[in-house]
């Protein structure tokens, strides 16, 4: 600034001197004055020119280069350029941060909707769009309350008490495919609101399943318990003859056994759900298991058919390939024995039950049980492995069923990477097969402890379902 002022003075002085020297005789002072004035005009004109160039440059807005170099206007343009570029950089950084923030909200598994102070939709993520059926083009700046019309939500929205969430059926919810949303509003800033939505269908279903399960277990236990306490009361109050007393005690033992079977199956299920997966390198000989299964199947058939006065079942057990399966012996035994005992229990006495073990074409191994029983209608097949699902309730109860057998089989199959295949034709019989992938079986290697293991397993089979 000082340099510029000094240059101006120097220029004026030079102009004054020039005026002084070239002025006519006797008028050097006037000449100097004219010189100073003309120099001043020239300086201002030149300055204006540079100022207009800077103005033009500002108007164009192209900040890639300074408008001028040097001088006051050069410095103004350079400083302006630097200021604008630094602001541009700041704006770019802010935009980037905003985009990253929105991308994080977009990646959220929850639906996020931002409402302005008039409760209009400012922004929402894709999950919220799915939950509420929003469309970016159509619904931005619409009032949120006009778009989500469920009465439970409307009451919550109007209450202004957002200390809890509200659940209501989500968009596209149907009786056969329900969708449940949980929505929670969080006020923030100056009258703004953040709406969080969660799909809680699976949670709700799990909760409903838990409630059903508790109700089912209570119901299953209550029946034998009621019978049992009735007999206890009779024994306590009535003076009974010995044969009658014995009959009552036998019936009580039967009910107690029924409860015990149920508790065993429940414990088995909870072990299957809660324990780590069985090791894939513990080998279980299925062919030895088949021998034990056959003995127990014959015993079960004899008990059931003697009681009803019928002929025992025609049983055949066919080990085509001697195989070992990698997994847990107690789990496999439980699954196979459930399939065999079901076939016997649901096939009328004198009917056929055939169990087989073989390697299939393609390298998978199959354990299958085929019976000539009543078969199962196709509509029941998808639900057979649900806990307590029974097609023939009375037959299941009469023959000591708990309604948990196939649920156990399904869990064991999953834990051994096996597939449970059920084929059935009403009136002609059923076929239940467990199919193990190629990496899960091998040809049997006889070991000295195999027979010991098989006899250990026999304890399981009798206690889980053939008893
Ligand atoms: P349960 O203990 O009642 O036998 P499961 O889970 O083992 O329970 O089987 C579920 C239902 O599937 C049974 O109640 C029965 O109605 C049907 N079921 C299972 N196996 C057979 C079969 N081999 N033949 C006909 N129905 C069967």
pLDDT in tens, 299-329: 999 999 987 888 999 999 999 989 999 999 9
pTM of the model: 0.68
Question: The CATH number of 279-467 is which of 3.40.630.30, 3.40.50.10420, 3.30.565.10, 3.20.20.80?
Answer: 3.30.565.10
And the tokens for 160?
């202004």
| Beta pairing partners, 192 | 188
Q: What is the DSSP string of 341-380?
A: HHHHHHSPTT-EEEEEEEEPTTS-EEEEEEE-S----GGG
pLDDT class of 459 with cuts at 50, 70, 90 = very low
User: CB atoms < 10 A from the CB of 112, how many?
Assistant: 19
Of 265, 334, 344, 346, the residue with max ligand 1 atoms within 8 A of its CB, to mutate for a pocket test, comes to 346
A 10 A CB-CB count for 295 gives 13
For the Cβ of 346 lying below 6 angstroms from any atom of ligand 1, the answer is: yes
Given CA atoms 437, 438, 443, 449 in this order, what sign does their dihedral have? negative
Q: Supply the residue whose CA is at minimum distance from atom 10 of ligand 1.
A: 390
pLDDT digits (tens, 9 = 90+) for 115-166: 999 999 999 999 999 999 999 999 999 999 999 999 999 999 999 999 999 9
457 confidence band (pLDDT: 50, 70, 90): very low
Residues of the chain with CATH 3.30.565.10: 279-467
pLDDT for position 1: 64
pLDDT at 60 over 50: yes
Q: Which residue's CA is the closest to the ligand 1 atom numbered 4? A: 401
Q: Which residues are bridge partners to 420 per DSSP? A: 434
Per-residue pLDDT, 287: 85
352-409 per-position pLDDT tens digit: 999 999 999 999 999 999 999 999 999 999 999 999 999 988 888 888 889 999 999 9
pLDDT of residue 176: 82
Centroid of ligand 1 to alpha carbon of 265 (angstroms): 14
Asked if 327 and 282 count as a contact pair (C-beta separation under 8 A), the reply is: yes
Say if strands 111-115 and 121-124 run parallel, antiparallel, or are unpaired. Answer: antiparallel
Q: Does pLDDT of 456 surpass 80?
A: no
Q: Per-residue pLDDT tens for 247-286? A: 999 999 989 999 999 999 999 999 999 889 988 778 999 9
Q: How far is the CA of 427 from the centre of ligand 1 (A)?
A: 15
Q: Which residue has the higher pLDDT, 2 or 59?
A: 59
Return the higher-pLDDT residue of 460 and 349. Answer: 349
What percent of the chain has a predicted confidence (pLDDT) above 90? 67
The preferred substitution site among 340, 404, 405 for testing ligand 1, maximizing ligand atoms within 8 Å of CB, is: 405
465: pLDDT strictly greater than 70: no
State the pLDDT confidence band at 200, using cuts at 50, 70 and 90.
very high
Where do the DSSP E strands lie in 98-247?
111-115, 121-124, 166-169, 180-188, 192-199
Closest Cα to atom 2 of ligand 1: 401
In this structure, CATH architecture of domain 207-275: Orthogonal Bundle (1.10)
Residue 445 has pLDDT above 80, yes or no: no
Domain boundaries for CATH 1.10.287.130 within the chain: 207-275
Length of the chain: 467
Q: Which residues contact 196 (CB under 8 A, 6 or more apart)?
A: 110, 111, 112, 183, 184, 185, 186
pLDDT for 450 beyond 50: no
Question: SS3 of 303, please?
Answer: helix
Distance 342 CA to ligand 1 centre (A): 6
Please tell me the distance from the alpha carbon of residue 312 to that of residue 314, in angstroms, as a whole number. 7
CATH 3.30.450.20 positions along the chain are 108-199
For residue 339, report the distance from its CA to the centre of ligand 1, in Å: 9
In short, whether 19's Cβ falls inside 6 Å of ligand 1 is: no
Label residue 460 by pLDDT band (50, 70, 90). very low
The CATH label, of 1.10.274.50, 1.10.357.10, 3.30.450.20, 3.40.50.620, for the domain at 108-199 is 3.30.450.20
Angle of CA points 33, 34, 39, to nearest 5°: 100
447 confidence band (pLDDT: 50, 70, 90): low
C-alpha span between 108 and 104 (Å, rounded): 6
- The overall average pLDDT reported for the chain is 89
- How far is the centre of ligand 1, averaged over its atoms, from the C-alpha of 200 (Å)? 32
* Averaged pLDDT for residues 237-243: 89
């Amino acid at each position: 600034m000082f340099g510029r002022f000094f240059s101006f003075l120097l220029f004026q002085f030079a102009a004054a001197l020039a005026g002084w020297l070239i002025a006519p005789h006797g008028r050097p002072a006037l000449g100097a004055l004219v010189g100073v004035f003309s120099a001043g005009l020239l300086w201002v004109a030149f300055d204006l020119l540079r100022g207009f160039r800077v103005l033009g440059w500002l108007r164009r807005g192209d900040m890639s280069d300074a408008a001028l170099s040097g001088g006051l206007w050069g410095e103004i343009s350079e400083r302006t350029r630097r200021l604008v570029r630094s602001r541009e950089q700041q704006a770019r950084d802010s935009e980037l941060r905003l985009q990253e923030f929105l991308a994080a909200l977009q990646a959220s598994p929850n639906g996020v909707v931002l409402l302005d102070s008039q409760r209009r939709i400012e922004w929402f993520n894709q999950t919220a769009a799915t939950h509420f059926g929003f469309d970016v083009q159509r619904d931005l700046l619409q009032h949120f309350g006009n778009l989500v019309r469920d009465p439970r939500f409307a009451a919550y929205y109007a209450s202004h008490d957002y200390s809890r969430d509200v659940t209501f059926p989500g968009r596209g919810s149907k009786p056969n495919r329900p969708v449940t949303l949980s929505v929670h509003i969080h006020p923030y800033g100056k009258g703004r609101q953040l709406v969080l939505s969660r799909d809680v269908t699976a949670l709700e279903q799990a909760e409903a399943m838990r409630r059903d399960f508790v109700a089912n277990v209570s119901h299953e236990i209550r029946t034998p318990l009621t019978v049992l306490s009735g007999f206890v009361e009779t024994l306590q109050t009535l003076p009974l003859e010995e044969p009658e007393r014995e009959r009552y005690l036998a019936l009580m033992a039967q009910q107690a056994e029924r409860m015990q079977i149920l508790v065993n199956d429940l414990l088995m299920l909870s072990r299957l759900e809660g324990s780590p997966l069985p090791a894939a390198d513990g080998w279980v000989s299925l062919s030895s298991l088949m021998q034990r299964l056959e003995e127990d199947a014959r015993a079960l058939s004899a008990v059931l058919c003697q009681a009803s006065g019928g002929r025992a079942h025609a049983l055949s057990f066919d080990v085509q390939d001697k195989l070992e399966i990698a997994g847990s012996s107690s789990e496999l035994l439980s699954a196979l024995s459930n399939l065999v005992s079901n076939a016997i229990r649901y096939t009328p006495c004198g009917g056929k039950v055939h169990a087989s073990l073989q390697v299939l074409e393609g390298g998978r191994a199959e354990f299958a049980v085929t019976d000539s029983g009543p078969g199962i209608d196709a509509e029941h097949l998808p639900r057979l492995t649900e806990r307590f699902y029974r097609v023939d309730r009375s037959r299941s109860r009469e023959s000591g069923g708990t309604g948990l057998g196939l649920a156990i089989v399904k869990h064991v199959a999953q834990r051994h990477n096996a597939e449970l295949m059920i084929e059935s034709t009403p009136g002609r019989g059923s076929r239940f097969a467990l199919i193990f992938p190629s990496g899960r079986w091998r040809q049997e290697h006889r070991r000295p402890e195999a027979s010991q293991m098989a006899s250990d397993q026999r304890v399981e089979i009798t206690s889980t379902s053939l008893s």
